[in-house]
Amino acid sequence: MNNTLEKFLITDKVCVITGGAGLMGYNHACAVLAGGGVPVLIDIDKEKIRKAKIGLEKKFENQTIETYQIDITCDKQLEDVKVELVKKYGHIDILINNAANNPKMEEITFNMGSVKFGNFPLSIWNEDILVGLTGAFLCTKIFGSQMEVQRGGVILNVSSDLGIIAPDQRIYQKEGIEESIQTIKPVTYSVIKHGLIGLTKYTATYWAEKGIRCNAICPAGIENGQSEEFINKLTNLIPMKRMAVKDEYQSTVLYMISDASSYMTGATVIVDGGRTCW
Ligand SMILES: NC(=O)c1ccc[n+]([C@@H]2O[C@H](COP(=O)([O-])OP(=O)(O)OC[C@H]3O[C@@H](n4cnc5c(N)ncnc54)[C@H](O)[C@@H]3O)[C@@H](O)[C@H]2O)c1
């Protein structure tokens, strides 16, 4: 293999993936395994972890996959995972902050009037921010501090095209439903995804001389069983005229967590079929 391709290898590197059992988390784990690393799937959902592990073991025989059923908003549980991993492997090399309370707005068909901005409940605001931002802060603090001790590591924050632009609420609206009770993409989604880019720039500069690189990826929507009506409305906003396929971010992720991107820090990489150009 030539030197350039070798840089994509993350052989035996330990990579913590939050929300690791979800749709994207699973694909991040595939990217880590393809690069020869050890994915550590952290997720709150036991059943999803079980299924993700079976799927990964089938695809990547004889490779190690670690899983932990924990809540990333609990610093004690994160500390315990860090201690266990350091004891077992001696190092934690990569963190992918991917977990989120992910409202699949396009699947919601009932009255979501209560989440309209004017009466958006403080409780939902707090819950979403707790997972999407506080969880990322805690993981960065706990696993990033271990990287600081090691004088090296990579952190990848999973933002969104909606970390760059505002949601176009028209694509979530359904015909025949009164305006006052139309579904909207919640404000927390925008705030969290923009916030993760802020966290990225902060830690990238804070740790730049300590050998820790921090970057953000902004993926756009993955096609995953949404209605034809929704797909049509969304793809009209995308120059490439399609949504992403499930495994389409894997190579960008591997690039961003490996030495292939060794001079990249504080960057926001947009992979969105061109949506944010329009
Ligand atoms: N799917 C997309 O089209 C898309 C597009 C752009 C950005 N993103 C972003 O990618 C990330 C992953 O999205 P996804 O589609 O895979 O979502 P998903 O809902 O499939 O996965 C999220 C995972 O996070 C876990 N989780 C939630 N709260 C947790 C907690 N407190 N502790 C530990 N785990 C917790 C869930 O159990 C779930 O498995 C999210 O940040 C999302 O905003 C997704």
Average per-residue pLDDT in the chain? 94
262 Cα–ligand 1 center, Å: 27
The structure tokens listed for 228 are 């034809």
Q: What is the pLDDT of residue 110?
A: 43
User: Mean pLDDT over residues 95-99, rounded?
Assistant: 99
User: Mean pLDDT over residues 141-150, rounded?
Assistant: 98
12: left (phi over 0), alpha (psi -120 to 50) or beta: left
At residue 181's C-alpha, the angle toward residues 124 and 128, to 5°, is: 15
Say if residue 114's pLDDT is above 80: no
User: Mean pLDDT over residues 153-162, rounded?
Assistant: 98
pLDDT in tens, 195-253: 999 999 999 999 999 999 999 999 999 999 999 999 999 999 999 999 999 999 999 99
Say if residue 108's pLDDT is above 70: no
Task: For residue 47, count other CB atoms closer than 10 A to its CB.
Answer: 10
| Residue percentage of the chain with pLDDT more than 70 | 95
Question: Counting atoms of ligand 1 from 1, which one is nearest the CA of 99?
Answer: 24
Residues flanking ligand 1, CB < 6 Å: 18-19, 21-25, 42-45, 48, 71-73, 98-102, 131, 135, 158, 160, 219, 221-222
18 Cα–ligand 1 center, Å: 8
| Distance, CA of 50 to CA of 45 (rounded, Å) | 9
Strand partners, 94: 15, 154
Residue 235: alpha-carbon gap to chain centroid:
22
- Which homologous superfamily does the CATH classification assign to the domain defined by 3-277? NAD(P)-binding Rossmann-like Domain (3.40.50.720)
SS3 137: helix
Question: Counting atoms of ligand 1 from 1, which one is nearest the CA of 24?
Answer: 16
The structure tokens listed for 27 are 């694909």
Q: Minimal CA–CA distance to 129: which of 199, 27, 46, 212? A: 199
Tell whether pTM > 0.85: yes
